[in-house]
Every structure is written in C-alpha cells, then in structure tokens.
Amino acid sequence: MELIYKIEKNEVGKTLHSILTTKLNISTRLLTKLIKNEKILVNHSPYNTKKAVNLGDCITIDFSILEDNNNIVPTPMKLDILYEDEWFLVVNKVSGMPIHPSSLHYTDSLSNGIKSYYDSIGLAKKIRPVNRLDLGTSGLVIFAKCEYIQECFIRQMANLSFQKEYLCLVNGILTTKTGTICLPIARKNGSIIERCVDENFGQSSITHYEVTKEFKNFSLVKCKLETGRTHQIRVHMATIGHPLLR
C-alpha cells in the first residue's frame, strides 16, 4: 500500500512537508502518524520533512500502518464485492442491512461482514465506509482500506467530482420530468431519526431528478445528490407530492 512520487522541476526547493501536504494532500493528522512510524522515505532513505527536495527525488509513502479494528465484531457473511484493489473495495449492500453496528444490529451490519473479510485476508485496518446508505436502501458502498484513500474520497465528495446517483420508485406521475429540488432539511422536532424541510433551521440540500420510466400510478426516478443529508431523497420527493413507495 505505497504511494510513489517523483519531484518535478517546478517543485525543486520546496520542503518535503510542503509536497506531502499540498501536492499529495496528506492531512496533518495522517502525516504525523506516518512520520512517527517512519513510513516516509526519499530515495529509499529517511528524510527530514523540513528539508528541501531536489529534482528527480523519489518519495515513497507506505500507508500500511497496523490499526486496531477490534471495536467491530467480525461476522462471517456472503459479501457481494463488485470491485477490489489494494486501496478500496466496492460492496453491493442489500436492503434491510445497516452499514454500521448499533445496539439493534451489533453483529449483523455490513461493517461486521467487512471486519470478518479483513481478518480473512490479514488486513489490520479500521473499517472505513466512504458513503452511507439507509437501512432500507440497496446499492454500492465504498470501503477505504486506509486513511489516505478515505481522505481522497472525502475531498472528491466536497468538490462534487464524486457523484452519487439513486434509483427510486415514487407515487404518482410527475408533471415535470426533470428538475432540481433546493429545499433545506433539518431534524424533525421530537425525533432523532425523522427529517423534514425547514426553511429556518435546515441545512442546504440539493437533489437533481429525472423520470426514467412511468407506470400506471407510480414512477421510476433517478436522483443525483449535490448534498448528502439524512433521508434527503425521501424528504424532497415527499415535499413535491411524490413520496417514495417504501
């Protein structure tokens, strides 16, 4: 789990610290861990991060720091892994399965299955789901195998280069076949789960939608999210008069 980078002409004279934090976007917290564990080499040797780099220097960063992931119980289960490499894996989550363990799902969440899988391949890393899906939602969940890749995905979600699309069945036939819903969402008073549109205290929430198929009295709608609020699609579609069937 290594990242290798060679210094280019326009980077000569910059400090190694500057290259690591600005060019490679390694967070200060992660950088501290890497330095402490001597996981950063220049030309295959330890190097002071305060020193300047030279043309052609080869930086090697090893992210295979052992991590304690015993906070999650390993539960063997059949995982539908659609893609995997040394940095991350993509798993198809079924409806009815939570991503995270909880008091009600202490051993049967997707993370429990991932912990068991990590144990089977000897990967001592924390369980890091990049995206979230509701209990009743099926779809793809990305698990980052190290902190650096998780940070990369978080930046992509922030600048919208990481896009999330959903297919949902809604009641009724939409008059406007494509559109954008911009309605702020907040937690409903008296509930820790339910969400609602709240013009005064809600967070900015943006959903782009497109009707892909129509049936007798319901529609299949593709939704693309610019924001990732809890129950965003459910709340937005209900607000425009077309609640999800489930």
Structure tokens at 173: 């036939």
Q: Give the pLDDT confidence score for residue 55 in this predicted structure.
A: 96
pLDDT digits (tens, 9 = 90+) for 19-77: 999 999 999 999 999 999 999 999 999 999 999 999 999 999 999 999 999 999 999 99
Q: Give the pLDDT confidence score for residue 160 in this predicted structure.
A: 81
Give the integer Cα–Cα distance in Å for 112 and 142.
15
Task: Tell me which residue of 159, 205, 158, 162 sits closest to 180, measured CA to CA.
Answer: 205
Confidence of residue 132 (pLDDT cuts 50, 70, 90): confident
* Model confidence at 246: pLDDT above 80: no
* Model confidence at 221: pLDDT above 80: yes
Active site residue 108: no
* Model confidence at 129: pLDDT above 90: yes
* Model confidence at 15: pLDDT above 90: yes
Q: Give the pLDDT confidence score for residue 53 in this predicted structure.
A: 95
Structure tokens at 118: 């990590």
pLDDT digits (tens, 9 = 90+) for 150-167: 999 999 988 888 888 999
Residue 122: half-sphere exposure toward Cβ, Cα within 13 Å: 1
Structure tokens at 137: 């939602």
Residue 115's Cα: distance from chain center in Å? 17
Q: Give the pLDDT confidence score for residue 190 in this predicted structure.
A: 86
Give the integer Cα–Cα distance in Å for 72 and 154.
23
Average the pLDDT over 176-197 and give the result: 93
Q: Give the pLDDT confidence score for residue 157 in this predicted structure.
A: 86
Buried b / exposed e over 8-17, threshold 16 CB at 10 Å, is eeebeeeebb
Asked if 144 and 157 count as a contact pair (C-beta separation under 8 A), the reply is no
pLDDT digits (tens, 9 = 90+) for 69-113: 999 999 999 999 999 999 999 999 999 999 999 988 999 999 999
Tell me which of 62, 80, 85, 134 is the catalytic residue: 134
Task: Tell me which residue of 74, 173, 59 sits closest to 116, measured CA to CA.
Answer: 74
